[in-house]
Structure 1
């Protein structure tokens, strides 16, 4: 078990779906806030934020299935993150939480939106940290139209094979660009960001506690006649994020509409209009050969898509606020802890969590 900051505890809870490991802090009768982590990570990436929340909140951060110390239950990608959102709903029921606020980071932002779409009125507010686009991850035009009819270029087949091998080998080194430590340094954080070495070790250990395989990270794949030659399979997280299965545009129609705080790092290289994990952008910069061109397969404008949908949300009567965090990449709650904590607690207060 990774060391935890003072005031944060951990335990495992049995729900009707799986054995869920979680971190928690605050009063048991405090206003409930559920923190949902992203892909290739765990609840441990939230621990420092939880430690500094006012004790008027009851904060709960579970490890999703297949991550951290939770049960290794398979992920059905064709359900578009519903396995995760239904796990969260089951945990909320088991813990007796009433109308929690949800905080979702990256993939966890998609899980939070899915939860709100399918349980209208059950969410006090949403805080989304560098969330996946409501159109899914990769391979779409601005309006969500797929670049290829079979969604080629998205899903499990786009993951780096060496990175997966090093995850499976529990590699804590920095000897390769594909070492989990170096991937975290290069893509979870803004350029030139340096963590305390002990804390970096903790996060690397948490990242390494990711289950790999066809039904976990990154998932299976199928071949395609369309560029770049691979299309989504049916299992695992990366396929669940594919626009073939993930459509969160229904957030526009939620009634009642929970207020949304959208926080994003200005230097994010994962969820970006120029993402280094998007086939269109990689093709454009020459990292994937035989790119069919801007008209056929442009970079996915992930941030622009998210803003478009949230503008529709506001036009439909909802409320959202965008906060761009400078000198932060994909993990603003780690890189600019105080700024994100302030924005979060302000948003929770505005939503009625006092």
Structure 2
């Protein structure tokens, strides 16, 4: 099937690390300066294809670029060393931008990709960060509200959280809606809020199916744990990169030069929330996973509260942060509320000014800044 939308093209970029696939707009000028370049980084079980609508809609004097991470889309399926957190991914993005002669750009990250761009900002200059439905700065699962780890082996985190039938259907390229664990139904139930409709669903499902399930890619390996629920994060693979033993980007608070940050997320997100259905501790609390040891031992991770705390500290330390929480929106605001996402992104990169009262009545916005 045709997966590229009108005006979008793909090309391969050779870097010293691996060959990376990127999407661009056909009409864009490669000489567009870096401060007019916006780089999009996708999340887990996705690819650059998910960014095409917003790329189409951005003004013509901007240059949007969407990158396939390793193991996704048409980028090489090199194994991921999870013991480096998401640095394999962020180093790949940096190598790609170096090959494109882009020293510093505006970065947009979604889900795990938001973790990638936060790590990038710790290691390299950036002009701004847009964090869409971001993984907590302390990783995914296995931490208390203050970011401290529940167990030394990150029990209940990493690749062991992946549904085996979902992984099998990814491997088989199942595009049907016959099972609740099919990628299409996972998209409908977890990526977007109820009621979302699109003519491009086949493209989004194809993007999900481009995920490599080879050893070292998605989801990765799981190791035995003596703690409930009996497994912990292994050293390889995509889901293990955001296990708290390997991933902590809360150090952005201490950046000397702090890029402005837009945090945009949906209040109906079931993936990244304070009661995530992807958090085994939340599933234990609900009785879905048996023998849960209780809230004192295995509390659900307060993902949104953790992000708000870290970004609040970032603002208190001199940064500028805008939070936009969209009512009745799931994990993909850029698909579900494209006009709002576009407006806020353009404000975040300084392309347009932000009005004094930017929030429509249906939105919730918090602005935290220190001048």
TM-score, normalising length: structure 2: 0.92
Could you list the per-position Cα deviations for residues 223-273 of structure 1 after superposition, in whole angstroms to 9, with x for gaps in the alignment? 111000000100001001111100011110112000000000121000100
Does the Cα contact within 8 Å between 1:139 and 1:279 map onto a contact in 2? no
The answer to whether 1:64 aligns with 2:56 is no
Aligned-pair distance for 1:124? 0.3
- 1:90 is matched with which residue: 51, 76, 95? 95
Distance 1:254 1:324 in 2: 25
Q: Deviations over 1:22-71 (max 9, x none)?
A: 10123323311110000000000001110111112111111000000111
Give, in whole Å, the separation in 2 of the partners of 1:27 and 1:106: 29
Kept in 1, the 8 Å contact 2:346–2:352? The answer is: no
Distance 1:318 1:214 in 2: 40
Q: Please give the residue correspondences for 1:223-262 in structure 2 after superposition, counting only pairs within 5 Å.
A: 223-262=224-263
CA RMSD in angstroms, aligned pairs only:
1.3
Give yes or no for the alignment of 1:165 onto 2:154: no
* Maintained 8 Å contact 1:124/1:351: no
Distance 2:351 2:310 in 1: 22
What's the counterpart of residue 319 of structure 1? 320
Preserved contact between residue 222 and residue 230 of structure 1 (Cα < 8 Å): yes
Q: Distance in 1 between matches of 2:85 and 2:149?
A: 16
- The Cα shift of 1:351 comes to 9.2
Q: Which ranges of structure 2 fall in alignment gaps of 5 or more residues?
A: 354-371
The equivalent of 1:81 in structure 2 is 86
Give the alignment's TM-score, normalised by structure 1.
0.96
Query: 2 CA distance for matches of 1:193 and 1:89?
Result: 34
Work out whether residues 107 and 130 of structure 2, in 8 Å CA contact, stay in contact via their aligned partners in 1: yes
Shift of 1:148: 1.8
How much does 1:213 deviate?
3.5
CA positional deviation for 1:278: 0.3
Alignment of 1:17-32 (within 5 A): 17-25=17-25, 26-30=28-32, 31-32=36-37
Aligned match of 1:112? 117
Conserved 8 A contact 1:138-1:153: yes
Counterpart secondary structure, 2:349? helix
1:299 and 2:300 are equivalent in the alignment: yes
Where does residue 218 of structure 2 map in the other structure?
Answer: 217
Q: CA separation in 1, counterparts of 2:144 and 2:170?
A: 32
The verdict on how the C-alpha distance between 1:96 and 1:351 changes in structure 2, with shifts beyond 3 A counting, is farther
Aligned to 2:142: 139
- The answer as to whether partners of 2:3 and 2:49 remain within 8 angstroms in 1 is no
1:143-166 CA-to-partner distances (Å, cap 9, x unmatched) read: 111122211000001110000000
Deviation at 1:94, TM superposition (A): 0.3
Contact 2:266 2:325 in 1 (8 A): yes
* 2-structure distance, mates of 1:252, 1:275: 25
Does the 8 Å contact 1:80/1:246 carry over to 2?
yes
**Is the Cα–Cα contact under 8 Å of residues 125 and 351 in structure 1 kept in the other structure?**
no
